[in-house]
Amino acid sequence: MEKSLVIVESPPKAKTISKILGRDFQVKASVGHVRDLPKNRLGVNVRKNFEPQYEILREKEPIVKELREAAQEAERVYLAPDPDREGEAIAWHLAELLDLPKSKLHRIEFNEITKDAVMAALKTPRQIDKRLVDAQQARRVLDRLVGYKISPLLWRKVNGRSAGRVQSVAVRLICEREQEVTNFEAQEYWSIKASLSKQKSKTAFLAPLYKWKDKRVIAASEKATAQTMVIENEREAKAIVKAIEDKNFEVTSVSEKASQRKPQPPFITSTLQREAANQLGFPVKKTMQVAQTLYEGIELGTEGPTGLITYMRTDSTRVAQQAQDEARKFIETKYGKDYVPAKPWVYSRKAKNVQDAHEAIRPTYPEKTPDEVKKHLSSDQYKLYKLIWQRFMASQMSAVKLNTRTVEITAGDAIFRASTTEKKFDGFTIVYDRAAKVTQSETDEENGEGEGHEEETENLPVVKEGEALNLKELVKNQHFTQPPPRYTEATLVKTLEELGIGRPSTYAATVATIIDRKYVERQNKALIPTKLGQAVNLLLVEHFGNIVDVSFTANMEAKLDQIEEDEIDWHGMLKEFYQPFAETLKKAEENMNKVVILSDQTCPACGQQMAIRSSRFGQFLGCVGYPECKTKIALTKEGTPVPEDRPSDEVCTKCGAAMIIRYGRYGDYLLCSSEECKDQRPILKTTGVLCPREGCGGAIVEKKSRRGKIFFGCSNYSLNKCTSAYWYPPLISGGPNGANLCPQCHSMLLYKTLKRGDQVQCSNKECTFAELATGKEVHA
């Protein structure tokens, strides 16, 4: 019997869908794009109406052959890539290559990989949406024209690696913010607080000076009006203190206000990236990689592969009615009726270019709590799933009920003000209390509110109007305004979204590209432009000002949306862009001067300065005296000169010669000093513990995974002789094999460093032994 064929992008997604559909369907993966513009040439026929010249990717030729054969044998073919422009384009490319009758070829899409969603999609197949395809093609051709035309010019003039339509704007934003920080001049201002107490009470509270002579006292960074004032220096602060220190302090106003705090909307791509960066420390690229695995399916024991979240590239906060109903039912069962709002919250967004094609990011099964699925998830998957689950469940819960009490105290011409807020009902914070981690203004910003919030006062007693208070002390504090904060990955994504630049699918790639190209570097969490990034930005702003203009780039994004809505033709849009762009490019080639980026190093051969240069292998230092002086110095990934070879205590296991330490592409390694041998091996950080596997003879050493994560494995691991590997180090002892042994099963113990406290745990997965660590030695 002929089976139907379903084609998706990734093998994990294929595995999950195959489990859902059963034996009557064959599910295969294209493993991403199978066709694209050529890598070594422009690939766009500008004269022939900007026709793209696609090629099958060389590494995908076997996959295309396999898909063609399977499609010919199938009764029906369902194209099921992701539900966005990129997914639609993949489906179109597959359709072009498979060359099947329209009656046999169907496009299906689903926002979540669940049985209900997949089966519903099969019942409602459609044709490929050429509007979505055209919008993706327009973006691809536009990016190729900008990249392939400007990048060679940058290479010649500044050794820049590349230019990009969106990435160059991101670099400009970061460079301009850095300039603001550099040019910032701090402004001094002062604040005054009164330390007060009730009569016959020893407990004091602080009340900030709110008004002086009918003018509200503000910080120097706040917007000044005719009704406000700034205490600019210590002299003014002392004069105010002197004028009121002998006055009576009397309560002149006591007010109470009931309010509520609504939950934040469920995540969209940008807010998930920001929150994961702020709470979990995840780079945006990592967030999307982990979210992809949660979407495509996780092995849940006997349930098999299961998609745990909805599609993670979205800018809509919309939630399906069924998902709302399931969440409300779970909330009522778990937390009680009071935590379910009378009507579900409706979240709308005012940002530019919002599309409502998909739902918000949410768990596919609200009843699958993070703790329930934790044993099936990696640490990163668990953290991100917990964040998504908590945010969504909170978004469907009742508001927090608050009561704010405000007290005004008058002393002469001064009014002091103290406020405290009491939580009357915890509402959604029982699940997700983001307020503990961010300011209320950030919360209001996401809910479309903007009401100001005052500083909270601790120990504010119950007082009455007319009540006299004791003055214990008047406290003066000096302050200085702060420069605007440098962008982090999270705030850059937020800014790009607010400006209407890029799409949910491009944020992570944009940030990763500008870091990989060495235009920007991370310092702690801040994004700081490198010398190369600043030089490239200056050239682009001078010669391609419109290309890296924020408004121009946002307008191009809007036009891509118009193509998707079938309001404008994509060929016409490209023609409108290209004519002035070609003229600008010609002028830049004639007028752009070569820029040399000097480093702090001097040439060891001739004493002249070394310049930062680029090659296809990365950056290096080259003497400015080139070609007379051809001295080059290789740079490490961190941008420092590569160290010279160093002696080691190791001897070569093949010829017995001394080994030296040499820096290579992946860091330091051991190299045999004999010219005839030249054997290499990695430098192993030993733990002093022997491999617990019987007869192995290896030792447990520190290693790095392909993604740079540290783990501990047998020294024979890389030789494929032993598979012993652990994410945590062994607990060291003075025993014969160097490790402490489990009191229950006598396996090796591991030392786990966790946020909730360090633990000692058995390395045997079948053993349950674990206890809190109490000062036991561990390999660092």
Catalytic residues: 311
Helix (H) or strand (E) holding 241: helix 234-244
Gap between the Cα atoms of 86 and 129, Å rounded: 12
Task: Determine the Cα angle at 405 with ends 399 and 410, to 5°.
Answer: 155
- Contact assessment for residue 457 and residue 204, using Cβ atoms and an 8 Å cutoff: no
Alpha-carbon dihedral angle through residues 327, 332, 333, 335, given to the nearest 10 degrees = 110
Gap between the Cα atoms of 717 and 695, Å rounded: 14
In angstroms, how far is CA 577 from the centroid of its own chain?
Answer: 32
Cα→Cα distances 689→212, 289, 404, Å: 70, 34, 60
Instruction: Indicate the burial class of 118 (C-beta count within 10 angstroms; 0-12, 13-18, 19 or more).
Output: buried
> Where do the DSSP E strands lie in 242-373?
249-261, 298-299, 305-306
In angstroms, how far is CA 634 from the centroid of its own chain?
Answer: 31
Give the largest CA-CA distance in the chain.
Answer: 98
Gap between the Cα atoms of 479 and 469, Å rounded: 28
- Contact assessment for residue 381 and residue 286, using Cβ atoms and an 8 Å cutoff: no
Q: Tokens representing 212?
A: 């002086």
Query: For the chain, what is the total number of helices (H) and then of strands (E)?
Result: 18, 35
Q: Tokens 């001295």 identify what position? A: 631
Q: Identify any residues that bridge with 776 across adjacent strands, giving them in sequence order.
A: none
Helix (H) or strand (E) holding 324: helix 321-335
**Sign of the dihedral defined by the CA atoms of residues 624, 627, 631, 635, in that order:** positive
Gap between the Cα atoms of 133 and 29, Å rounded: 20
Q: Tokens representing 267?
A: 């995540």
Q: Tokens representing 276?
A: 């994961």
Instruction: Please give the single-letter amino acid code of residue 312.
Output: M
Based on its alpha-carbon atoms, the radius of gyration of the chain, rounded to whole angstroms, reads: 32
Task: Determine the Cα angle at 58 with ends 53 and 62, to 5°.
Answer: 120
In angstroms, how far is CA 416 from the centroid of its own chain?
Answer: 42
- Contact assessment for residue 279 and residue 273, using Cβ atoms and an 8 Å cutoff: no
Gap between the Cα atoms of 503 and 43, Å rounded: 24
Give the β-pairing of 400-411 and 249-261: antiparallel
Gap between the Cα atoms of 651 and 641, Å rounded: 27
Secondary structure letter of residue 26 according to DSSP: E
